[in-house]
Structure 1
């Protein structure tokens, strides 16, 4: 097969190929696997750069001012990690509240929810969102962990996108064909010792071990491939995207982040150089008692220069003019651009006072809420695939569940004025159905359940009141004894005049 004929999909992290050229997708050829890995490795430098920015290893630390190095002057390097701030804020905003999943009418997903609880799915979702925010894409792998010789456990793990590829067909649906996870192995001395390459198909998990590098070939294999069957009913590797372009949340603001760090570094550098200013001698030199040039270390503190002006000789401090007000205006402008570009507000801004209402807070976070809306669409798509794979696995174990049509709700983690919400629900009672208004409450995934609980609570309150008054709650209020006597008694107030 001529691998150059495969049509690689360049945009995004998944690799799309012509299904007809893929061959047996349950046993992909070495050529297809090598092609996919080679395409993916072209993106690893971008991933490394984005991770470095999040960790604080940014371009400012590579700056070297030539004049400062020649004169021994200060060259301060100051880094404010806006990349980490943006990612941590977006991650907390998106997954700070657990993602809730409710079954469709008449369907049961309890077995799936129990399985997710055992996997600590809330922590996993937070880690997944962090990868989405940094890299613009994320991957998770469903697998079966061996607990003992007779016991296994369904597990899920986030996979580093630098060693992971999902290969899809090149149709509009981008149907998954197989996944690849490759890891470099090292010996006890830390030297490279080949790669472990794992292929996840719709039915099989196939492992290869290479002698050197990641290229698969008959001569580069260290032993025979190992293949085991899995029971997820499809490729157990799931791909997520942060947005249509698969860009990280701070990726478009990298130039602004660099500019901000340079401005702050220059401010501190100039301040320090002002303190360590050079003394310039115009038209003369220092002499000792014998009239000889004094032995002074002039390399760092003094510069001798020709005379200037009418007198010829003068002494001045060599400093650079510095307008702090203009610099502060520029710094604030760049900082505002960073927050505007990323949709993440500056929470230290005076506009975010601690006494504003929850509704006012939503208006200030409007841009961030729009960002969440985009994230929610792509997160929901991946989570639906996760639920389906878990359902396939549980059904083989005899546990019935149906996740089709399930409601997935991602609630933003923002301050909520519960008093205002409750008052709004009370004011809307009788005008808007309670099944709708109860959904206004935070972290409520099933408003109908709340309606049923309220009905039961009211019934219990009536029963408690009747018990307190000594009524026999086993009898109906329309019984004769509540009317004042037997039906055959026509005396008293019931007697006609």
Structure 2
């Protein structure tokens, strides 16, 4: 989550300001508790682990049903199951940018980034240049020489170790970013921190001794140029409030786990119940042996003697109803449907499925808007680097689209495409088809398929009735000659008229 400060307090934004850097680090430390809790809930380290059962003789079952992970994994799959599509504005080129995306497997990167957005409410990615083997080039005289070479990389970085500082204008333009990394010795003990400050034109790395905050005496281990011309750490938001997808559901998740834990613990307490005798006592020797063998009937010593278990009765139906109610609230508030619900049957129509997923689609439409803000900044930074290397890309006005990975009825889609043919251009209707990145490619393939079909039909006719095909060819030639003669006659008439 970005920190907002007055830009005038920094002076030169490309000169490290120790006071501002430490202020950002303190803000980052203040948020760590919240972020750690969200991470723990996703990883299954939830509040139910601390629960203790009232019965000292029965150990608490501590059942944990990880709804937090379910909600995040489903949202990540719905959101980034299909890759993001980029289409350059008419007359512009982004081929080199798309080539970079292919090389770094940007789809996998986006999945990891969306997971952070879903868990923490925001996420960060770092763009950097990695040195590779130098390339051999020849100068004008033909002499071979080696020139340095770099490779553009993009990595998702932990929001618990990263913070971006923006100005206090309405645009919140990034001023600098700080990335912290704990350093340990070979015994596993912390012996300082690496603090990297990313400024628009400069990158500086400090090495602290013990504290995370930077002092003027801490050595600078790296000081280099930032070729991106802007802060190369991009903040992505999950929503306006920067909240995780399950953050508001933690109380419901805890209540569900507590209820399930108590149900299991009650079952164990039921098995380990107290045995009560009426009208007689048990001999320490023979009677106890009989009980251990399972003979627990009351000995016929006195009239009215009896023996039974002392148990706590509970209404399992009411407990199950409460459990379902809490689970329904979890899915209702998160907008993530319960795919194990009997209402989600395999024979429902595409339109019926759309209504069941209406809340989820609304949620994803909001998430996409904020996600695209970060993608546009990513395009701008990559454009700077590829153009430095000699390309001529222009990502301004680039169209970004993302199809949610939601089940669709393919037969309904195909019927809609067929019914719209002749009414809506095929370039638009073919885009309705799933897994179609470029509708024009489908149009070209259909044209090629039609041409091959016509050719096969002609060859089939030639094989069945060659005389007929020869006659049709002669008629076609005759028609062409008539057209040419008519055209010459018309030209002659026009000449005379002139």
User: Same fold per TM (> 0.5)?
Assistant: yes
Structure that is richer in helix per residue: 2
Aligned-pair distance for 1:74? 3.4
Aligned pair partner of 2:400 in 395, 402, 408: 408
Q: Is the 8 A contact 1:358 1:416 kept in 2?
A: yes
Tell me by how many angstroms 1:47 deviates: 0.8
1:232 and 2:219 are equivalent in the alignment: no
Alpha-carbon spacing, 1:154–1:485, altered in 2? closer, same or farther (3 Å): closer
SS at match of 1:147: strand
- Conserved in 2, the CA contact under 8 Å of 1:16 and 1:169? yes
Partner of 2:424: 432
Once the two structures are superposed, what CA deviation does each residue of 1:291-310 show, in whole Å capped at 9, x if it has no partner? Answer: xxx999xxxxxxxxxxxxxx
Give secondary structure in 2 for the equivalent of 1:42: helix
- In the other structure, the counterpart of 2:296 is none
Q: Secondary structure at the match of 2:180?
A: strand
Matched position secondary structure for 1:218:
coil
- Aligned residue for 1:148, secondary structure, equals strand
SS of residue paired to 1:90: helix
Q: 1:107 aligns with which of 92, 112, 135?
A: 92
Instruction: State the partner residue of 2:142.
Output: none
Q: What is the Cα deviation at residue 85 of structure 1?
A: 0.7
Q: For 1:267, which of 243, 263, 269 is the aligned residue?
A: 263
Q: Which residue, 140, 145, 149 being the options, matches 2:125?
A: 140
1:452 Cα deviation after fit: 5.1
Deviation by residue 1:270-290 (Cα, 9 ceiling, x = unmatched):
11110110124579754559x
CA distance in 1, matches of 2:63, 2:284: 43
Equivalent position to 1:182, from 176, 180, 183? 180
**Number of residue-to-residue matches in the alignment:** 452
The residue matched to 2:181 in structure 1 has which SS?
strand
Asked whether the 8 Å contact 1:103–1:407 carries over to 2, the reply is yes
1:402 Cα offset (Å): 0.9
3-state SS in 1 of match to 2:129: strand
- Partners of 1:185 and 1:344 lie apart in 2 by 40
Per-residue Cα deviation, 1:139-180 (whole angstroms, up to 9, x for no partner): 000001122354321100000000000110011111011111
> Which moved further from structure 2: 316-325 or 390-399?
316-325
Note if 1:256 corresponds to 2:252.
yes
Matched, 1:325 2:325: no
1:42 maps onto 2:40 in alignment: no
**DSSP 3-state at the match of 2:196:** strand
C-alpha distance in structure 2 between counterparts of 1:429 and 1:15, whole Å: 52
TM-score, with structure 2 as normaliser? 0.84
Q: CA deviation at 1:354?
A: 1.6
> Cα–Cα, structure 1 residues 284 and 486, in superposed 2: closer, same or farther, change >3 Å?
closer
| CA 1:476–1:422: 2 relative to 1, 3 Å | farther
Match of 1:359 among 351, 364, 369: 351
1:306-351 residue CA offsets vs partner (Å, 9 max, x unmatched): xxxxx99975532211100000000000000000010000000011
CA deviation string 1:166-216 (max 9, x = no partner): 110011111011111010101111111111011111111111001111111
**Corresponding residue to 2:12 among 20, 24, 38:** 24
CA distance in 1, matches of 2:266, 2:277: 22
Q: CA deviation at 1:352?
A: 1.0
* Matching residue of 2:339: 347
Aligned-residue RMSD, C-alpha = 2.8
Which deviates more, 312-321 or 178-187?
312-321
Match of 1:378 among 370, 373, 384: 370
Correspondence for 2:79: 94
Q: Which segment drifts farther, 234-243 or 475-484?
A: 475-484
1:465-497 per-position Cα deviation (integer Å, ceiling 9, x unaligned): 56766789xx99975455679959xxxxxxxxx
Distance 2:309 2:59 in 1: 16
Q: What per-residue deviation string (whole Å, max 9, x for no partner) do you get for residues 427-455 of structure 1?
A: 11122222322221113344345445545
Deviations 1:393-434 (A, max 9, x none): 111111111111111111111223222211111111122222
Q: Which runs of 5+ in 1 are unaligned?
A: 1-12, 297-310, 489-497
Distance 1:321 1:369 in 2: 45
Q: Provide the TM-score with structure 1 as the length reference.
A: 0.84
Cα deviation, residue 268, structure 1: 0.7
Cα distance in 2, alignment partners of residues 440 and 227 from structure 1? 50
Find the counterpart in structure 1 of residue 164 from structure 2: 166
The Cα shift of 1:24 comes to 1.8
Q: Report if the CA contact (8 A) 1:74-1:273 is conserved.
A: no
Greater Cα offset, 186-195 or 223-232: 223-232
Structure 2 match to 1:301: none
Deviation at 1:22, TM superposition (A): 2.1
Asked if the contact 2:58–2:268 (Cα under 8 Å) also holds between the matched residues in 1, the reply is no
1:360 partner SS: helix
In structure 1, C-alpha distance between the alignment counterparts of 2:428 and 2:279, rounded to whole Å: 87
Deviation at 1:360, TM superposition (A): 2.2
Indicate how the Cα distance of structure 1 residues 461 and 108 shifts in structure 2: closer, same or farther if over 3 A, else same: farther
Give the drift of 1:82: 0.6
